[in-house]
C-alpha cells in the first residue's frame, strides 16, 4: 500500500497544474454548498423563530366543523334542491362558545404552556389627517403576553401597561410611522359599523416582521368588543405549546374535543414554508450541479493521466502490481484531489459565511434585517466534505477501471 500511495502522489505531483484545476472545481462547489446553506437556513431559521415567538402555535377559530351547509340543508333533512339562488349571509355572529371554559380546559392540558381569548377584526386608525387600516386584537394583556410574548419587542412603552389603561392601545412600529404617532399620543379607532373610540398609545412594538409591524394593533378586550360591536364575543382562542412542532397533532385533538375548527402555525404559514422547501430544493440542485462539474474535472484529468501513462502502467503490471493495485492507485488520486478540495472549500466557505454575516444589507420582506442573516451549522461543512469525497471517488472509478484493464504484453509489444 505504501508503494501504491507513493506512485499515486508522484503522478499527481507531475500533473500538479491540472490537479490544481480539479481541486479548484471541488473547492468552489464545497464553498457554494456551505455559503448557500448558511444563507438559506439563516433566513428560514430567523423567520420561523420570530413567527414562533410572536404568533400562537395553535388557534381555535369561531367556526364549527361541518357548518358550511346552506340554511335549507340545516332546516330540512335529505335531498330537496339542486341549486339555491340569492342565499343571504347569516345574521348570527360567529363566536367561540364558552371561551372561559375552553381556556381553562386547554390550560389544564400538560402540553399547553398558555391559552388566551382574543377578539380580532378590522378597523381604521386616524390621527390628524392620516388614516390607516389595521388588524385589531382585543386581548387580556397578561394572558396574551404568555401566549405570544410580544412585550420583549416593545421599542417604546410597556405592553403590559395595556391592562391598567382602559383607553390604551399598542401599535406596531409600521403603524406608528404611517400615522406619525408617538408614545402618549391619542388616536381614534373607527370600526366599519361606525363606532369610534379615542385611545392613547401606551406602547409601540418593533417585532421585525413587516406583516405584523405595519398592520397590528392591540387594545383591551372590552374596548375591542365595544368598537367592533361584538359584546361578550371571543372570535378565537390562541394557544402556546411547550413543543411547537407538535402543533398539527394537538390541533386535531382540539378539533375533536371542541367541535370547532383550529389551525396550527404550520397551516397558517403553509405558503411561506412551502416556498422555503422549494428554495431548499433549488439550492441543492445548484450546489449538486457545481460539485458534479468539479467531479467531471477530476474525471477528465484522471482519463488524461491514464492515456498518457499507459506504458508506465504496463511496466508496473509487469513488475508484479496486480489489477486491484492499479485500481487503488487511481482511486487514491481522485480521493486526494477531492479531499484537498473539500478542506479548502470548507475553509473558504467558513470565511465567506463570516463575511456575509457582517455585510450591511437592509431588507424588509418577510423579516427585517440590516445584514445578511446566516446560520452557521458545523453539519454544513461535514456535508460538503462527504459530498466532495463521494464525487471524487465516483469520478475516479471509470479511469481507474480502465487503467486496471491495461494488458502489459500488448502495450509493451506495441512499443518495441
Q: Which residues contact 248 (CB under 8 A, 6 or more apart)?
A: 264, 266, 267
Considering Cα of 152, then 156, then 162, then 163, what sign does the dihedral take? positive
In angstroms, the CA 203 to CA 155 distance is 8
DSSP 55: S
114 and 239 in contact (C-beta within 8 Å)? Answer: yes
Q: Which three cell numbers stand for residue 314?
A: 504496463
Please count the residues of the chain.
Answer: 416
Share in percent of the chain as helix, strand, coil (round to 5): 55, 20, 25
Q: Who has greater pLDDT, 387 or 313?
A: 387
- How many angstroms from the chain centroid is the CA of residue 264? 16
Helix (H) or strand (E) holding 135: strand 130-139
Average pLDDT, rounded, for the chain: 80
pLDDT tens digits, one per residue of 170-185:
999 989 999 999 999 9
Q: Which three cell numbers stand for residue 177?
A: 410611522
Range from 6-15, 76-85, 151-160 that averages highest in pLDDT: 151-160
**pLDDT for res 338:** 83
Number of CB atoms found within 10 A of residue 164's CB: 11
pLDDT tens digits, one per residue of 350-386:
998 888 888 776 666 566 666 677 887 888 888 888 8
Q: Say if strands 196-205 and 168-172 run parallel, antiparallel, or are unpaired.
A: parallel
In angstroms, the CA 302 to CA 12 distance is 10
372 and 356 in contact (C-beta within 8 Å)? Answer: yes
Pick from 53, 52, 368: nearest CA to 210: 368
126 and 188 in contact (C-beta within 8 Å)? Answer: yes
Q: Which residues contact 189 (CB under 8 A, 6 or more apart)?
A: 123, 124, 125, 126, 136, 169, 196, 197, 199, 217, 219, 227
Which range (70-74, 186-190, 284-288) has the least confidence?
A: 70-74
In angstroms, the CA 347 to CA 358 distance is 17
Considering Cα of 239, then 243, then 249, then 253, what sign does the dihedral take? negative
Over 80: is that where the pLDDT of 147 sits? yes
Q: What single string gives the DSSP state of each residue in 280-296?
A: HHHHHHHHHHHHHHHHH
Residue with cell 381604521: 124
Give me the mean pLDDT over the 249-267 stretch.
87
- How many angstroms from the chain centroid is the CA of residue 51? 10
In angstroms, the CA 195 to CA 233 distance is 16
- CA angle 199/202/208 to nearest 5° reads 115
Global pTM value? 0.69
pLDDT tens digits, one per residue of 201-229:
999 998 888 878 888 999 999 999 989 88
Q: Which three cell numbers stand for residue 333?
A: 488520486
Amino acid at each position: 500500500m505504501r508503494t501504491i500511495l507513493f506512485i499515486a502522489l508522484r503522478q499527481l505531483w507531475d500533473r500538479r497544474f491540472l490537479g490544481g484545476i480539479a481541486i479548484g472545481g471541488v473547492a468552489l462547489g464545497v464553498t457554494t454548498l456551505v455559503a448557500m446553506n448558511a444563507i438559506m437556513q439563516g433566513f428560514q431559521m430567523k423567520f420561523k423563530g420570530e413567527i414562533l415567538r410572536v404568533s400562537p402555535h395553535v388557534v381555535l377559530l369561531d367556526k364549527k366543523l361541518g357548518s358550511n351547509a346552506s340554511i335549507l340543508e340545516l332546516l330540512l333533512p335529505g335531498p330537496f334542491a339542486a341549486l339555491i339562488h340569492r342565499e343571504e349571509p347569516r345574521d348570527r355572529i360567529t363566536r367561540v362558545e364558552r371561551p372561559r371554559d375552553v381556556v381553562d380546559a386547554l390550560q389544564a392540558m400538560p402540553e399547553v404552556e398558555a391559552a388566551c381569548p382574543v377578539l380580532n377584526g378590522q378597523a381604521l386608525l386616524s390621527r390628524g389627517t392620516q388614516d390607516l387600516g389595521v388588524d385589531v386584537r382585543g386581548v387580556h394583556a397578561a394572558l396574551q403576553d404568555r401566549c405570544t410574548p410580544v412585550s420583549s419587542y416593545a421599542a417604546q412603552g410597556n405592553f403590559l401597561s395595556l391592562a391598567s389603561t382602559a383607553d390604551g392601545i399598542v401599535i406596531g412600529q409600521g403603524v406608528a410611522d404611517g400615522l406619525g404617532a408617538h408614545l402618549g399620543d391619542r388616536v381614534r379607532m373607527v370600526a366599519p359599523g361606525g363606532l369610534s373610540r379615542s385611545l392613547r398609545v401606551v406602547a409601540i412594538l418593533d417585532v421585525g416582521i413587516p406583516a405584523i409591524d405595519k398592520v397590528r394593533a392591540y387594545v383591551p378586550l372590552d374596548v375591542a368588543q365595544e368598537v367592533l360591536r361584538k359584546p361578550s364575543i371571543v372570535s378565537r382562542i390562541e394557544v402556546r405549546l411547550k413543543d411547537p412542532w407538535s402543533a398539527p397533532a394537538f390541533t386535531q385533538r382540539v378539533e375533536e374535543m371542541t367541535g370547532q375548527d383550529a389551525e396550527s402555525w404550520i397551516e397558517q404559514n403553509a405558503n411561506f414554508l412551502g416556498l422555503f422547501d422549494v428554495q431548499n430544493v433549488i439550492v441543492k440542485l445548484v450546489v449538486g450541479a457545481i460539485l458534479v462539474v468539479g467531479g467531471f474535472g477530476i474525471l477528465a484529468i484522471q482519463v488524461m493521466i491514464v492515456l498518457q501513462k499507459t506504458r508506465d502502467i504496463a511496466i508496473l503490471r509487469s513488475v508484479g502490481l496486480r489489477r486491484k493495485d492499479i485500481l487503488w492507485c487511481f482511486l487514491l488520486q481522485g480521493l486526494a484531489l477531492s479531499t484537498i478540495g473539500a478542506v479548502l472549500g470548507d475553509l473558504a466557505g467558513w470565511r465567506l459565511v463570516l463575511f456575509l454575516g457582517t455585510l450591511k444589507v437592509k431588507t424588509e420582506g418577510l423579516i427585517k434585517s440590516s445584514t445578511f442573516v446566516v446560520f452557521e451549522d458545523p453539519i454544513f461543512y461535514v456535508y460538503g466534505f462527504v459530498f466532495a469525497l463521494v464525487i471524487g471517488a465516483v469520478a475516479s472509478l471509470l479511469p481507474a477501471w480502465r487503467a486496471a484493464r491495461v494488458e502489459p504484453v500488448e502495450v509493451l509489444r506495441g512499443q518495441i
